[in-house]
A and B are shown apart, each in its own frame.
Chain A
Amino acid sequence: MEMGVAGAASRGSDGSGAELNRSVVERDLEKSQAALQEFIRRQQAGQAAGDDALRVGGLTRLSGGASCEVYGFDLHAGDEPTRAMVLRADRPGKDFSASRADEYAVLREAEQAGVTVPHAHWLGSADDGLGVPFMVMDFVPGLALGQRLLRDDAYASTREALPAQLAGELARLHAAAPGHRLPGATPAGDDPRRFALAAVKQWTAAAATLHTDYPRPALDLAARWLKLNAPSVQEPVLVHGDFRIGNIMFDERGLTAVLDWELAHLGDPAEDLGWLCVRSWRFGRDHPAVGGLCTRDRLLELYREAGGRAVSADQLRYWEIFGNWKWAVICLLQAASARAGSRPDVELAAIGRRVPAVEWELVDLLDREQSQ
């Protein structure tokens, strides 16, 4: 079983390098399994199957990203067919991502909006037996590995189907009226550029936590340009925040689920479209621009046809530049986190040396823009 989740999957990691930094869940799988069973029985109390008939089995680590670990398990309930489920648990010592509670709320909201997501069943706090916040959701079969999607003959039909499916998922998400309390602070004021400015400010602040004695003029130039050219948003929408090849689950026919809602927030619908164009999500298949699958123009056309918001080519370019810049910052943050564990991790550290490629793309994109 392969299930790619977050950046970990695109790096091909199974998390096995983190033995010395294991989460509380993994430290004693049997104890965690019993606690999980206890938790689910409490959630299901009084329901048809009867508490005692509920059993949890086969808890296994699937993968893990920087902020979250993913486990698979089976839920047996009396005579009902066994259900494959997924447990997403926080890693101790979290980064910039949303809390599990926010992610749970956003996931429920996306499902209501008609976005293809795994159904989220329950949310658990650190006091619910696993020692960290977690949520339980349905297991969705499929792969999320960009390399396989773009290179494997088995996924030729998937590559055909995906552009329209991706545009459709985003159009449905962006059409939703965000109801619940969204993660992070919604920028105050009435400047229509405040959503873009807040995003630039947020990632500038993240970059400022890094070592400042490494000058990064290409990234600083991009940050400056993004600040000066922030687009207006008339009607902010719920933005996925990490909608890209690698976070989309697929099978031989097409999309099966949109994963990883940890960076969801209120903002410009074009942010999700621009992030999808970032060169890193082409996994070496550099053309066409949208994940190696279709052109930028085609993406905008499909998004419009699916009932998406009005998004101009200028807006899309702005958020593509933003996306490349943000990805460079994330790479540097991940490289810095290589030293955070009990021993330095070569896989994380090496991510820092991917930054020059992102800088190249940024310089190329900025060069195509008119000067101020």
Chain B
Amino acid sequence: MKDYPPADELLEAVAAFLDEEVKPLLKGGKRFKSIVAANACRVVAREAAGKTALVEEQRRGLGELLGELLGKDGQPTAAVPGDDSSADELGRELCAAIAEGAYDQGRSREQLLAWLRSDVEARLRINDPAFLERNERRDK
């Protein structure tokens, strides 16, 4: 059970206050800081709304990636449903495998790069959606 309003709505109200009522009163560095602060509120608002789905997707993707790496005959060994590792724990496992050279070449490297790309894009939708829009324009 949660209280109303949800975090993203509350933060959007703070961001609007900073943008519309605080910023016009300020100059120079403080004005810039009010823009940064409003933007930070919007990042946290998007994170509050999207965090659960993001982390679940990371858990699924990382489980698949690591399972593929460790499994024989392409069968994943770290099947997610039975594995209760958190996304962070799986992420640290991935970092350790990278440091050991498990992703230096071939198909595993390609799979890792593809997963990283999709994960970074998911995090950019929270942190910097304008960057993704610029990329899309660039690719056209």
Question: Known contacts being A215-B94, A359-B120, is A221 close to B103, with CB within 8 Å?
Answer: yes
**By DSSP majority rule, is chain A's interface helix, strand, loop, or mixed?**
helix
Tell me whether A346 and B29 are in contact (CB under 8 A): no
What CA separation (Å) do A28 and B104 show in the bound complex? 56
Interface size of A by CB at 8 A reads 36
Tell me whether A354 and B112 are in contact (CB under 8 A): no
What CA separation (Å) do A281 and B112 show in the bound complex? 27
Tell me whether B40 and A353 are in contact (CB under 8 A): yes
B95-129, CB < 8 A from A: 95, 98-99, 101, 103-106, 109-110, 112-113, 116-117, 120-121, 123-124, 127-128
Tell me the smallest distance from the CB of B9 to a CB of chain A, in Å: 21
What CA separation (Å) do A214 and B86 show in the bound complex? 12
Tell me the smallest distance from the CB of B97 to a CB of chain A, in Å: 9
Tell me whether B29 and A372 are in contact (CB under 8 A): no
Tell me whether A14 and B117 are in contact (CB under 8 A): no
Tell me whether B104 and A228 are in contact (CB under 8 A): yes
- Check A363 for interface membership: any CB of B closer than 8 A: yes
- Check A217 for interface membership: any CB of B closer than 8 A: yes
Tell me whether B29 and A357 are in contact (CB under 8 A): no
A343-372, CB < 8 A from B: 346-347, 349-350, 353-354, 356-357, 359-360, 363-364, 366-367, 371-372
Contact of A14 among B29, B103, B123 (CB under 8 A): B29
Q: Which residues of chain A come closer than 8 Å to B134, judged between CB atoms?
A: 284, 286
Interface size of B by CB at 8 A reads 38
Question: Known contacts being A216-B95, A347-B36, is A367 close to B113, with CB within 8 Å?
Answer: yes
A1-34, CB < 8 A from B: 11-17
Q: Which residues of chain A come closer than 8 Å to B98, judged between CB atoms?
A: 217, 220-221, 224
- Check A336 for interface membership: any CB of B closer than 8 A: no
Tell me whether A14 and B28 are in contact (CB under 8 A): yes
Which of chain A's residues has its CB closest to B118's CB? A363
Tell me whether A363 and B117 are in contact (CB under 8 A): yes
- Check B32 for interface membership: any CB of A closer than 8 A: yes
- Check A198 for interface membership: any CB of B closer than 8 A: no
B-contact 0/1 string along A269-297, CB 8 Å cutoff: 00000000000000010110000000000
A117-163, CB < 8 A from B: none
Q: Which residues of chain A come closer than 8 Å to B121, judged between CB atoms?
A: 360
Tell me the smallest distance from the CB of A60 to a CB of chain B, in Å: 13
Tell me whether A366 and B29 are in contact (CB under 8 A): no
Tell me whether B116 and A217 are in contact (CB under 8 A): yes
Which of chain A's residues has its CB closest to B89's CB? A215
What CA separation (Å) do A292 and B117 show in the bound complex? 24
How many residue pairs bridge A and B at CB < 8 Å? 101
What CA separation (Å) do A11 and B33 show in the bound complex? 9
Tell me whether A371 and B131 are in contact (CB under 8 A): no
Question: Known contacts being A17-B29, A215-B92, is A350 close to B99, with CB within 8 Å?
Answer: no
Question: Known contacts being A220-B95, A220-B98, A360-B131, is A350 close to B40, with CB within 8 Å?
Answer: yes
Tell me whether B99 and A356 are in contact (CB under 8 A): no
Q: Which residues of chain A come closer than 8 Å to B37, judged between CB atoms?
A: 346
What CA separation (Å) do A366 and B127 show in the bound complex? 22
What CA separation (Å) do A283 and B78 show in the bound complex? 42
- Check B43 for interface membership: any CB of A closer than 8 A: yes
- Check A213 for interface membership: any CB of B closer than 8 A: yes
Question: Known contacts being A350-B39, A353-B40, A356-B120, is A12 close to B104, with CB within 8 Å?
Answer: no
Tell me whether B36 and A350 are in contact (CB under 8 A): yes
Q: Which residues of chain B come closer than 8 Å to A15, judged between CB atoms?
A: 29
Question: Known contacts being A12-B32, A13-B32, A286-B134, is A356 close to B95, with CB within 8 Å?
Answer: no
Tell me the smallest distance from the CB of A10 to a CB of chain B, in Å: 11
Tell me whether B104 and A224 are in contact (CB under 8 A): yes
What CA separation (Å) do A354 and B40 show in the bound complex? 11
Tell me whether B104 and A356 are in contact (CB under 8 A): no
Which of chain A's residues has its CB closest to B32's CB? A12
Return 25 A-B CB contacts under 8 Å, by A number: A12-B32, A16-B30, A17-B29, A213-B88, A214-B88, A217-B116, A220-B99, A224-B104, A228-B104, A346-B37, A347-B33, A356-B123, A356-B124, A356-B127, A357-B127, A357-B128, A357-B131, A359-B123, A360-B120, A360-B124, A367-B113, A371-B104, A371-B109, A371-B110, A372-B105
Ranked 5 nearest A-B pairs via Cβ: A215-B91, A14-B29, A12-B32, A371-B105, A16-B29
